[in-house]
Structure 1
Amino acid sequence: MVKRLDTDNIRISRLYSNVEKVNEDVKSNTTIVNEIDTEVGTLFKRIVELETRLENQEQYSRRTSLRFHNIRVPIDPRTGKIPHPINTDIYILQVCNSKLGLNLTVNDIGRSHVIGKVKNGKSQVIVRFLSYRTRSKVYTNKKALKGDADGIFITENLTQYRTGLTQKLSDLKYNHKIFAYWTSDGRIFAKTTEKGTKKLIKNYDDITALETTTDDDNQQQEPDLSPGTTNQNSDENHNNGTY
């Protein structure tokens, strides 16, 4: 009986030692995992920062360009496509000078070309102006196109990511979940109520936060009427294909 107890005690002692070793291994591995998690978190944050910088640089590279929508272009009746080459500068100058009341020449345009598909003889034309000042003048005067017979309107040339943000905001505006949204120099703003505080939208998290904002969270503030902004607060603007 005593011998059996001694044997059991030895086994228990060995098991205890094994448990202690396992506990030490677990602690060591936990430390390693925590260090890896910290490193991964740091790297992820760095990636986000680099992606943000890249996104900002891409948008900055578009600072002198605009998109003209619903521009009438010639169509080859045999193919239904645009004959190439096509001088889109002429159509842009017609809009800028005849409809916006400006006095631009071909020397103000660096390059323009059709982008996207043609629909009902109309297409989108992207234009890069030779100076930001000229681009700003055109964008500021685009309000003259409101109610245009051809449905022509002008938007900023946003990156794919920012275009996605504005499309999401457009859906919210259409469903009356926000009052307005607009862009200015590539930055996106939105308001949940007419007199609410404008919010800078940088990512989809900002839009989620905007959706959960209550009227009590909005301070009394006059609408932003600074030059170079577009206030998307009407169904007409939405139907025109906001950004």
Structure 2
Amino acid sequence: MATAVGSDLSLQEIAVSHRVGKPRSSDKPRDILVKFISRRSRDKLLKKRSLLKSNGYEGIFVNEDLTKYRSELLFEAKQLVKRKHIIGAWSTDGTILVKVTKDKKVSVHRIHTKRDINRFLSYTVAENSNSSSNVDYFIFRSILA
């Protein structure tokens, strides 16, 4: 997968990897948790993750392994994306970020608390053609050594 997206990540840069969670009754595979030997190794793959879809890995997502609280913040932020209050939401190095438009200006904001998310409830995004599809997938998570 790393080679397909142009990352020079090697197997020696992965300390350990395994599936997590209970086996599912559906055909949907379990998540894979990967521990890299260094932050630099992890970043090699994370920087190229947006190329997965265009290189034959549609329905596979690479995400950080966040704390429960930060995962909840990211989930709530993504709900605002679905409701068209903000343009996008993602995490980088454990920090939750959102992209918004206000007065025709695009800006990125860090999210630390649920209060930070709530201040974007009054924002709206112009209709666009992006739509999410229901695809069977697994999440490829990463943690640092």
TM-score w.r.t. the length of structure 1 is 0.47
- The aligned amino acid for 1:207 is I
Query: Partner residue of 2:20?
Result: 115
**Structure 1 residue ranges (4+ consecutive) displaced by more than 6 angstroms after TM superposition:** 237-243
Query: Partner residue of 2:83?
Result: 175
How far did residue 132 of structure 1 move?
Answer: 0.6
Q: Aligned to 1:134, which of 32, 41, 44?
A: 41
How far did residue 125 of structure 1 move?
Answer: 0.3
Structure exhibiting the larger radius of gyration computed from Cα positions: 1
> Aligned-pair RMSD on alpha carbons?
3.0
Query: Partner residue of 1:235?
Result: 131
Query: Partner residue of 2:60?
Result: 152
1:184 equivalent in alignment to 2:89: no
Deviates more, 1:164-173 or 1:120-129: 120-129
SS in 1 for 2:34: strand
SS in 2 for 1:171: helix
How far did residue 238 of structure 1 move?
Answer: 9.2
Which has the larger share of strand? 2
- The aligned amino acid for 1:142 is R
SS in 1 for 2:86: coil
Query: Partner residue of 1:199?
Result: 109
Cα distance change, pair 241–206 in 1 and its aligned pair in 2 (3 A): farther
Which has the larger share of helix? 1
* Residues in 1 aligned to 2:123 and 2:20: alpha-carbon distance in whole angstroms: 37
Matches within 5 A, 1:1-243: 95-97=1-3, 99-116=4-21, 117-118=23-24, 119-147=26-54, 148-193=56-101, 195-213=105-123, 234-236=130-132
* Residues in 2 aligned to 1:131 and 1:164: alpha-carbon distance in whole angstroms: 26
- The aligned amino acid for 2:106 is G
How far did residue 146 of structure 1 move?
Answer: 2.0
SS in 1 for 2:89: strand
Q: Using CA pairs below 8 Å that are at least 6 residues apart, which structure has the higher relative contact order?
A: 2
TM-score w.r.t. the length of structure 2 is 0.74
1:170, 1:238 within 8 Å by CA — same for their partners in 2? Answer: no
SS in 1 for 2:120: helix
Q: Which runs of 5+ in 1 are unaligned?
A: 1-94, 216-232
Q: Which runs of 5+ in 2 are unaligned?
A: none
**What is the number of equivalent residue pairs in this alignment?**
131
How far did residue 241 of structure 1 move?
Answer: 8.8
Percent identical: 27
Cα distance change, pair 149–186 in 1 and its aligned pair in 2 (3 A): closer
How far did residue 121 of structure 1 move?
Answer: 4.8
Cα distance change, pair 214–145 in 1 and its aligned pair in 2 (3 A): closer
Cα distance change, pair 241–178 in 1 and its aligned pair in 2 (3 A): farther
SS in 1 for 2:2: helix
Q: Deviations over 1:78-122 (max 9, x none)?
A: xxxxxxxxxxxxxxxxx222x223343332111111113444252
How far did residue 156 of structure 1 move?
Answer: 1.2
